[in-house]
Structure 1
Amino acid sequence: MTEHQQALAADTTEGPAQEPPAQEPPAQESAAQEPAQEPPAPKDRRVLRAALRWTAAVAVFAVAGAGTAYGITRMERTDVPGLATQSDGRWDYPPLAKPPLPSGSPGPAAESNPAGTHHADLRALLLPLPKGAKENKALRGTDGWLPTGEFLKEYAEKEDREDFGQHLTDSGLRHIAARGWTTGDGTRTRIYLLHFDTAAVVETRLFLPYFSYKDPARPLRGAEQVEDDASFPEEKAAVPGVQRSVYDETAPRGAEHDRQAYLAAGDVLAVVLQSRKGTAHAVPFQQTVVLQSQLLG
C-alpha cells in the first residue's frame, strides 16, 4: 500500500469520506508516450570517436609546436644546438670527442684529482681544424711537442721572451702541444697547451699574476695595447673547471687585429690567439675559445 493510500485510509477512519484529488499520470507513462530515439549505429559511434581523437591530437601538436617555436625565438643563436647560418660567422668544426682516459684515472675536475692532472694525452686535447682551414704544420713540432722557444716567438720583446721562458722553466713546464691554421678569410689561429705538474702551479704562478688583469703582463708581438674583450659572453660561455681571461686589441699598430685568450684548466695553461688583417671577427674567436675550454674541462 502506497503512502498516499495509507493517508486516505486514515482519513476514512477519522472523518467523512472526501473525494481523492485527481492523480497526474506517472512520469513513466508520459515518457513512454514520447517516441524513443534510437541509439546511433555502431559505425556512427566509431566515426565520432575517431573524429574526437584526431581533433585532440591536432590540438596537442598545435600547442607543442607553438611552444617550441616560441622557445626558439626567445633563445639566443648560440643557445640552440646545431643552429648556424651563413651570416652567423661560426666555423664548421668536426664533432668533438675527448680522448679516453687510462683505466681508473679521474678527469682533471674530479674531486679525487686535487692536482687537476690531465691523464689523457695532451696532444689529443687540441681543438681540431675547422672545415676548409689550412694547417700550419710548423706548430706540430717533433712528435707533436713544440719547443718552448717557438711558443715564445709570439711575445714582443726579446728580453721579455727570455724572462718569460725562464719563468716557465722555473715553474716546471713539462712540454707544449700546439696547433695552428688559417681559414679562407685570412684568419690565423694558434693554440698552445702548456703542461705543468699541478693546477696550483698554473693558477698561482702563471694565470693569476700574468693573465687575470685588464691587460696581460706579457704583451704579444704586434698587440701591445689590449683590454678586456667586452664582446665575450662570459656567463653563457662559462665552462666548469676552466678559468679564463680574454683580451681584444684596442689600437692595432700593424696590419693585423689580434684577439687572445688564456685558460687555466687544471695542470694546463692554454693560450688561444687569432689574428686577421682588418678585423679579427668575434664570433669564430668565441667559438674557438669555448670549444677548446670544453676539451680541457
Structure 2
Amino acid sequence: MTEQTATPTAPTEEPAGPEQELPPTGAVPAAAAGPVPAAEPVAATQPGPAAEPPAAPGQALAVAESVPAPKSSRRVLRAVARWTAAVLVLGGLGTGTALGITSMERTDVPGLATEGDGRWDYPELSLPALPAGLPRPFNEANVAEVHHADVRKLLLPAPAGATADKKLAGGWVSTSQYLSVYQKSKRAELGQVLKDSALRHITARGWTMPDGTSSRIYLLQFNSTAFAEAFRDEISDNTSIGAQLIGAPRTDLDETWSSGGRVENTATYAYAEDKPYGSEQVRHGYVLSGDTLALVVQSRKGKAGTERIPFHQTLILQNQLLG
C-alpha cells in the first residue's frame, strides 16, 4: 500500500466577523504574529500633566492606612500558592506513572502477569504461497474449493518443547499408515472406501509433549469436495464415531467444544473418550475444508487423561490453516 501524505495548504485570511471560526488550539493570532511596533518617543517639548496640589496631612494619612494588605492575607496567599504547586507536582508524577504502566506489557507489570491456561506454544503461522494465478479454496473464483497449495505446507507445525515423530515428519504417508489409527475390524472397509473416493495423497505430522501427550495430524486430499464429504460421512456422524480409533472403543461428541475459531465454509467435529477410558484417554476431531479432510488425534496415558484446552487449540489452528 502506498503511503499518502496530505500536503498542508496555507490558510486564507478572511475578514473577522461574528461567525468566523476560532483558530486551532496553540495557533498564534494574526495580530500577534507580526513584529511589535516600537513605542513612539515622547517629544521633549510636550507639556506634562499639571502637578496636583499636595494633599492635606489628614487626607494623606487616611490613604496610606488603606493601601497595605493585612499580614494574615499575605500568609493565606502564600499557603495557597504552595499547595497549588504541590498538587501540580503530584499530578504530574501520577500521570507519568499511569503512562508508564499503560505502555508496558501486561506480563511486565508486577502482580498482573497472566497465568498459563494450558495452551501450547505454537510458532507463528502463515499460509504458503499459491501457484501464480490460482485462488484460495474459498475464493469466489474457486468454485470447486480446491487447495492449490502443497498440503504438506498446510500441516500444523509442532509446538515448542515437542519431540517429533520420525515416522510422521510432515511428508507423504501411505494409506495403510493412515488406517493404522483405526481398529483392525474397520481397516479393510475404510481402505476400499478410500480407493473408491479418488484419494490423491495423505500427509501427516506427529509429536509428543513433555507431559506425555501424543499428537498426530493427517491431511487427506481428494479429487473433489464431494469425495471428501462422502468419506467424512463414512467415518463419523453428528452423534457418535462410525470408525473407532485404536485405544478408544467408545467416543462421543465433545460437549465442551464450541464453534469458536472455526473458519467460514468449513466444518469441525470434536470427539472425546469418556470415563472409564482404560489406560489412556483419546481425543480426536475432523476438519472438513473443501477437497481436504483433516484428522487430529491426541492421547495420553494415566488417569489424568488428555487436556481439553491444547486439543481444542490444535483443532482450531489446523482449521485456520486449511481455511
The TM-score with structure 2 as length reference comes to 0.64
Q: How far does residue 239 in structure 1 lie from its aligned partner after superposition? A: 1.9
Whether 1:243 and 2:293 are equivalent positions in the alignment is no
Q: Select which of 97, 115, 118 maps to 1:85.
A: 115
- Corresponding letter in the other structure for 1:85: E
Distance of 1:84 and 1:190 partners within structure 2: 29
Q: How far does residue 211 in structure 1 lie from its aligned partner after superposition? A: 2.1
Distance of 1:263 and 1:243 partners within structure 2: 6
Deviations 1:252-271 (A, max 9, x none): 54311000001101110100
Q: Select which of 128, 136, 141 maps to 1:99.
A: 128
Deviations 1:163-187 (A, max 9, x none): 0011011001111000000000000
SS of the residue corresponding to residue 199 of structure 2 reads coil
Q: How far does residue 235 in structure 1 lie from its aligned partner after superposition? A: 3.2
Aligned to 1:193: 219
The 1:201/1:286 distance shift into structure 2, 3 A limit, reads same
Distance of 1:196 and 1:84 partners within structure 2: 43
- Structure holding more helix per residue: 1
Q: Select which of 112, 133, 155 maps to 2:182.
A: 155
Q: Select which of 284, 290, 293 maps to 2:319.
A: 293
Q: Contact (CA 8 Å) 1:134, 1:183: kept in 2 or not?
A: yes
Q: Contact (CA 8 Å) 2:215, 2:299: kept in 1 or not?
A: yes
- Corresponding letter in the other structure for 2:232: F
Distance of 1:170 and 1:206 partners within structure 2: 10
Output the aligned Cα RMSD: 3.2
Aligned to 2:210: 184
SS of the residue corresponding to residue 167 of structure 2 reads helix
Distance of 1:280 and 1:136 partners within structure 2: 18
Q: Select which of 226, 231, 253 maps to 1:206.
A: 231
SS of the residue corresponding to residue 139 of structure 1 reads strand
**Residue ranges of structure 2 left out of the alignment (5+ in a row):** 1-66, 68-84, 107-112
The TM-score with structure 1 as length reference comes to 0.70
Aligned to 1:118: 147
Distance of 2:312 and 2:130 partners within structure 1: 27
Deviations 1:107-146 (A, max 9, x none): 01112112111111111111111111001111238xx110
| Percent identity for Structure 1 against Structure 2 | 43
Alignment of 1:44-59 (within 5 A): none
Q: Contact (CA 8 Å) 1:248, 1:259: kept in 2 or not?
A: yes
Distance of 2:283 and 2:114 partners within structure 1: 22
The 1:147/1:252 distance shift into structure 2, 3 A limit, reads farther
Deviations 1:221-242 (A, max 9, x none): 121211110122x132322232
Q: Contact (CA 8 Å) 2:262, 2:320: kept in 1 or not?
A: no
Alignment of 1:139-178 (within 5 A): 139-140=168-169, 144-158=171-185, 160-178=186-204
Number of residue pairs the alignment of both structures matches = 233
- Corresponding letter in the other structure for 2:179: L
SS of the residue corresponding to residue 145 of structure 1 reads strand
SS of the residue corresponding to residue 184 of structure 1 reads coil
Aligned to 1:128: 157
**Residue ranges of structure 1 left out of the alignment (5+ in a row):** 1-34, 36-47, 70-82
